[in-house]
Every structure is written in structure tokens, then in C-alpha cells.
Structure 1
């Protein structure tokens, strides 16, 4: 992990999702307090059970979200990509971390430590509410994680998970967008075997919906993938 300065491009990326929906006053407060950190692939900003800390905004790379399961141990549920913010849970609960986050590749984040969050929350009337809105924003994503896993047909379930990973902003699917993702990670997030995930990906690729490379998938025809997911 290293400390770096923030570029104009980084700030634009940070505003793609949740932060971009906040007021200009709130965004400026965030900009005044953020720290830029770089993580190597495999680094963890925090683990399940860690004490509460700050929140993180992805501006380069991606971070896997891991939850503790009594049946399966630590499992991958979602991958946050550029524009996503995470780590807000303990802010509202005051309890230790219940999720782990891992850099899936070399990544850069904006970090707001607890002291900065406290200053932002008290900076102007309504600021605390804007900060807490991150919980609701990410709850909608977690709801999709659950609903995707309830899709019975395997190929439709895999298509739905792919769409979720590619959708950096609501209704923001773009042909040509590439996501760093292995078949093993996809099989874990879709609750399928690696062989099944590989077979389905090959069928999607033959139809021209995606392109599969080593360790990454490129979205080619989002509308077709959506039709498959929600048929």
C-alpha cells in the first residue's frame, strides 16, 4: 500500500456512482479530506473482524467483497469496480467489520479515515444524511447479489452476475468494457462449478455476447446478455 496524489481523472472516476449523486457541497467536503492509496493485487484494506475504519472509493482496479459463511468459509460475493465506494457498514453499526475486501488487481482508492468522516458529517446541515446514504446505495447492490443467486437457470444466473459486475453506474452498460475476472471467481459468485461456468462462458462467446481472455471478460452485446439473464 502506498500514498499518492489525486489527479483530475481520478476525481471524475470517484464521482461515477454514489458520490456523483450527492450535493456539490458534500462532494467538495469529500475532496478536501480524501487520501489516495495504492494497493497491490491480493492486498486487503481490511478483514472480517477488524475494527471500524474509514470508507474507500475505487478509482483504478477492483476490489472483491468477501463474506464469512458457516458452510463455505470466506466466499466472494461481488466485485466493486471503478466509481464504487465501500466500507460504510461499521459507521452505522459501530461493530467490527463483517466483510473483507481484497484488491483483485493493482488498484488505487480514495480513502476517508474516521476523523475525516466525522468532520464531513458535521460540516453542514444534512451532511451526515448524505454520508449515511452510502449504506442504502450499497444495500441495493447486495440485494442484487441475493436476487441473482435465486435465478434457477444456470446460464441466466451467470448472465445476471456478469451484468452486475459490468454495470458501474445504473443502466450504464457499455459494449467494449472489460472486467478483470477469472472463471474460478465467476463460478464462486454464481454458485456453480468451474466447469459449468467455463461451458456457459464459451457459449456466450460463440454467440458474440462477450469475449473471454486470460483473467478478463469483455462485454460485447449487453442487450443480448440482459435478455438471457431475465428471460
Structure 2
């Protein structure tokens, strides 16, 4: 039987399995579509139950397993999120699409380690939703909280450059999603186009600039300004607002902020209280929402001018 789409039903249903999982999944999908059309065009032998079973199978595939089509839809949505912020917003679209198409999506709960210092490097990870804390122990202390990753952030490139074990711990601070690009997939892309190293280097450059900014903020003499600068950095809005997240929320305790700014917890609490009173931030236990980020940045400029 040849359908209105020009496909042979027997070909779609009985084609040999191949080593290509995408091709096999496509054949199975077409087979179900063709059978569904056949039933809907008047065949009664399957009955209504069979018909609705086929509808469910086509729309949701095997409920026990993520299908190729579901994965494609999820990755397409993921691409749109990652393309409008962070690293992938600054690279060629063709490269960004190819990278995301090779990834797998993962959802984790608060407290899950998705990257552990000392383990073998295994690829890149990009944050799609949620937030992650970064811990590092480069010398005799630690691990200590260093920074936070937000949607659009990627990591893992430094170890790829030097073939190093992982150098940081990355832990989810809330329910979060990330995309994982296996090292073999990344190496395959680079083998086909060595120029891709340039875009991996761009990610490393972004992280270097962030690190230098952290060092610079730690030299701010005024403790309140140092805390304000930290809040902006952890919110991903140190230099400008993020249209995708205009009022970012930070997962950090007052003890975390005190550690990262080398001040007492009492100093942090006092400063946060003043900021909340004038509506610059709002806070709950372990979380701080930045409401007036422009005003926070302007306060840093004003304080710097006073000291100049």
C-alpha cells in the first residue's frame, strides 16, 4: 500500500534494522503514523481502543523511554534558551546548533554534584535552568565557595585544553537542568573543523575575565560596596542587566556572603537589612532577590567617585 505521502507501508514497517538509532526510530515512527492513518480511514478491525492506543503512542511514544522526537523537541527548546544568553550567544549559530544537537539533557535536585574535582574530564556542561555553586580548593584550603553558575553559563573547557582532571566542584543549589556534551562528541566536532577551538577558547576567555573581575571586586575597600558587587556578580548582572532574568535570585546564605567578602556575618546582615528596607533587594532564608540592579551598580559608581 502506498499512502498519500508517497511512502510504502510495507517499507516503513518491515525495513531492516540498522546500526543508526535515528534511522530506526524514524522508521518506527513512520510505521505508527501509517497504521494510524489506515485505521482512521475506515478500518474497523482494530477497534477504538487500538486507535487511541496508537494516538497515544505517536504523541507520547514509549512512556518508558525518551524518544528521538521528544529529545529533538527538548534540545530545540534548550537551544533557544542557551542562544540568547552566555557563551552560545557570542558564537556562530551553526556551531551552537551543532553543539546542542550532540548533547543530552539532565535534571538534578538541590545538593547534587554534577562535576567533582579530581575526576577525569568528560566534556562540557551548559546550564539551562536553575543554579549551581562552584567550589574550588587550589591550594591548602577548601573546598570553598567561589562563584555561581546560572542559565547560559558553561564549564569544562579548561580541563579540555590541558587534559587535566576536573578542577572544581559544581553543585546544584536548587532543582536545575543542564545539557551535557560528551568529550567524544566534542572531539568529533573538532576533528571535522579544527577552527572550533576558537570558540572553546572564547569560553575560556570569558571565564578568565570573570576571574579577574572577582579579584578586582575583592580590592574594593568599602565593605558594603564589596557586598553589593558580590551580589551583582552572583546574580549574573555585575556590569549590565540580563533581559532573560531582570530580577535574579541568588542561592546564598549570609555566611556564604561573609566568606566571599572577608567580612563578618553581622556586617553582611546589617547591610542586607538596609538594602531590603529601601526596596533594593528582598530576602528569604538562603535566597536573595535583586530588585533594583541599576541602583546597585550606581551605588558602586558613587562610592568609587567619593574615594577618588
SS of the residue corresponding to residue 106 of structure 2 reads strand
Computed over aligned residues only, the root mean square deviation of the Cα atoms, in angstroms, reads 2.2
Which residue pairs with 2:82 in the alignment? 14
Bigger strand share: 1
Contact 2:106 2:179 in 1 (8 A): yes
- Give unpaired runs (5+ residues) of structure 2: 1-65, 304-308
Count of residues paired in the alignment: 229
Deviation at 1:132, TM superposition (A): 2.5
> Which residue of 67, 71, 79 corresponds with 2:148?
79
1:182 maps onto 2:250 in alignment: no
Deviation at 1:114, TM superposition (A): 0.5
TM-score, length-normalised on structure 1? 0.90
TM-score, length-normalised on structure 2? 0.69
SS of the residue corresponding to residue 125 of structure 2 reads strand
Contact 1:13 1:83 in 2 (8 A): yes
Which residue pairs with 2:203 in the alignment? 134
Contact 1:183 1:198 in 2 (8 A): yes
Partners of 2:75 and 2:103 lie apart in 1 by 12
Which residue pairs with 2:117 in the alignment? 48
Contact 1:175 1:221 in 2 (8 A): no
Deviation at 1:169, TM superposition (A): 8.9
Residues 76 and 86 of structure 1: CA distance in aligned 2, closer, same or farther (over 3 Å)? same
Partners of 2:116 and 2:219 lie apart in 1 by 27
Structure 1 consecutive aligned stretches of length 4 or more whose deviation exceeds 4 Å:
none
1:102 maps onto 2:171 in alignment: yes
Partners of 1:180 and 1:133 lie apart in 2 by 27
Partners of 2:190 and 2:178 lie apart in 1 by 21
Partners of 1:126 and 1:42 lie apart in 2 by 37
**Within 5 Å, which residues of 2 pair with 1:134-173?**
134-167=203-236, 171-173=240-242
Q: Which has the larger radius of gyration?
A: 2
